[in-house]
Amino acid sequence: MKKLKRSQRLVDMTQFLLEKPHDLLPLSTFAERYGAAKSSISEDLAIIKEVFEGEGMGELQTHAGAAGGVKFIPRMPMEMALSFIQGLCSELEHSDRILPGGYLYMSDLLGQPSLMEQAGKIIATAFHDVPIDTVMTVETKGIPLAYATAAQLGLPVVLVRRDHKVTEGSAVSINYVSGSHKSIHTMSLSRRALKEKSRVLIVDDFMKAGGTVGGMVDLLGEFNAEVAGVGVLVESDAVESEERLLHDYVSLIRLGEVDSKERRISAYPGNFFSV
How many whole angstroms from its chain centre is CA 200? 12
Indicate the SS3 state at residue 139.
Answer: coil
DSSP E strand boundaries for the chain: 58-63, 69-74, 98-99, 103-104, 134-138, 157-160, 171-178, 183-190, 199-207, 226-236, 250-255, 267-269
Binding of its own copies by 101 (CB under 8 A)? yes
Q: Which of 104, 174, 177, 239 binds its own copies (CB under 8 A)?
A: 104
How many CB atoms within 10 Å of residue 246? 19
Q: Which stretch binds its own copies (CB under 8 A): 52-60, 208-216, 220-228, 239-247?
A: 52-60
Q: Which of 32, 94, 103, 218 binds its own copies (CB under 8 A)?
A: 103
How many whole angstroms from its chain centre is CA 132? 12
**Amino acid identity of 97?**
R
Binding of its own copies by 7 (CB under 8 A)? yes
- Number of chain residues interacting with its own copies (CB under 8 A): 60
Q: Which of 81, 88, 116, 250 binds its own copies (CB under 8 A)?
A: 116
> Distance between CA 114 and CA 270 in Å, rounded?
20
Binding of its own copies by 253 (CB under 8 A)? no
> Distance between CA 252 and CA 235 in Å, rounded?
8
Binding of its own copies by 238 (CB under 8 A)? no
- Letters for 117-146 (x = contact with its own copies by CB under 8 A, - = none) are x---------------------xxx-xx--
Binding of its own copies by 3 (CB under 8 A)? no
Residue 53 CB, nearest approach to its own copies (Å): 11
Pairing of strands 267-269, 250-255: antiparallel
Residue 215 CB burial class (10 angstroms; 0-12, 13-18, ≥19): buried
167/241 with CB nearer its own copies: 167
> Distance between CA 251 and CA 272 in Å, rounded?
6
Binding site for its own copies (CB under 8 A): 1-2, 4, 6-8, 10-12, 14-15, 18-20, 47-48, 50-52, 54-55, 57, 99-101, 103-108, 110-114, 116-117, 139-141, 143-144, 147, 150-151, 154-159, 161, 166-169, 190, 192-193
